[in-house]
Amino acid sequence: MTIPALTLNDGHSIPQLGFGVFKVDPAETERIVSDALEVGYRHIDTAAIYGNESGVGRAIAASGIPREELFITTKLYNEDQGTDSAHAAMAKSLERLELDYVDLYLIHWPSPARNLYVESWKALDEMRAAGLTRSIGVSNFLVPHLERILAESGTVPAVNQIELHPYFQQPAVTALGAEHGIATEAWGPLGQGKYPLLELPEITEIATAHEKSAAQIVLRWHIQQGHIVFPKSNSRARIAENFDLFDFELTGDEQASITALERGGRVGGDPNEVN
């Protein structure tokens, strides 16, 4: 199965479906990522703060998949923001991943209390120029954070990875992104199990109609919304199920009924408060 690819604003392409390793046990990461790669995923999303970059690196090395067929993302954490510390953090991430470059490097949170995200953004631009990453972007940036780096750097992020699921769709952030050609990546695409999303009749009735699981319906909604999405699971069966999204399509009415679930229901941290 071929995963659709989106073209980023810097000309690089990204698989629209990937595999995330947030909260994946470092001791289990190699096995779980190896399962994902065997199922067919080629886009892996990790972060320094997850503590499992080394496991991702071992899985990549053991897979035998040519490097150019993979899309690997990692992230700069808050405590490493600043020019020199950002460069040092990237070097450590590449060492743990056993890679010469990543495909996408993100500022994990704006961490506004530190007031270093503009400086860090300029450091990421230097890393891109040095070939350490193909693309650069941000994560958890709200409209004021985006507007500031656009105004003070002149470099537009390729992506903004944000909390996004049916109860919390962040329309102002995604609209600003669309205006500037910034792709939206959705983390927590199924709401992280913090509300009964997969039991809602708006979802289960569509699942029954398509003979798919409720999770597949929500993930398909993301795909048709144009989001880049990377569900996670420790179960190979669920990993395979989450990959199986491209033999059906939601109708316009079905898409609209899921979009109408918006409730402003953030389940993760507030980017103005995570420092």
- What would the pLDDT profile of 249-263 be if each residue is shown by its tens digit? 999 999 999 999 999
pLDDT (0 to 100) of residue 184: 98
Q: What is the pLDDT of residue 96?
A: 98
Judged by DSSP in three states, 13 sits in: strand
* Residue percentage of the chain with pLDDT more than 90: 97
**Euclidean distance between CA atoms 99 and 28, whole angstroms:** 20
Is residue 1's pLDDT more than 80?
Answer: no
Residue 252 counted as domain residue: no
50 is catalytic: yes
Q: Residue 108: which domain range?
A: 5-193+226-234
Q: Which of 50, 77, 105, 117 is catalytic?
A: 50
Residue 165: DSSP 8-state: B
For residue 2, what pLDDT is reported? Answer: 82
- Are the C-beta atoms of 124 and 103 separated by less than 8 Å? no
Please give the Cα distance from 29 to 37 (Å, whole number): 12
The answer to whether residues 110 and 140 touch, using CB atoms and an 8 Å cutoff, is yes
pLDDT in tens, 105-160: 999 999 999 999 999 999 999 999 999 999 999 999 999 999 999 999 989 999 99
In a domain, 208, yes or no: no
At 89, which CATH number? 3.20.20.100
**∠ CA 195-200-202, rounded to 5°:** 135
31 in a structural domain? yes
Residue whose structure tokens are 């880049």: 228
Is 33 within a domain? Answer: yes
Residues 140, 102: Cα–Cα separation, whole Å: 20
Task: Give a yes or no: residue 249 inside a domain.
Answer: no
Taking the whole predicted model, whether its pTM rises above 0.85 is answered as yes
- Structurally, the chain folds into a number of domains equal to 1
Q: Is residue 166 part of a domain?
A: yes
Say if 201 falls within a structural domain: no
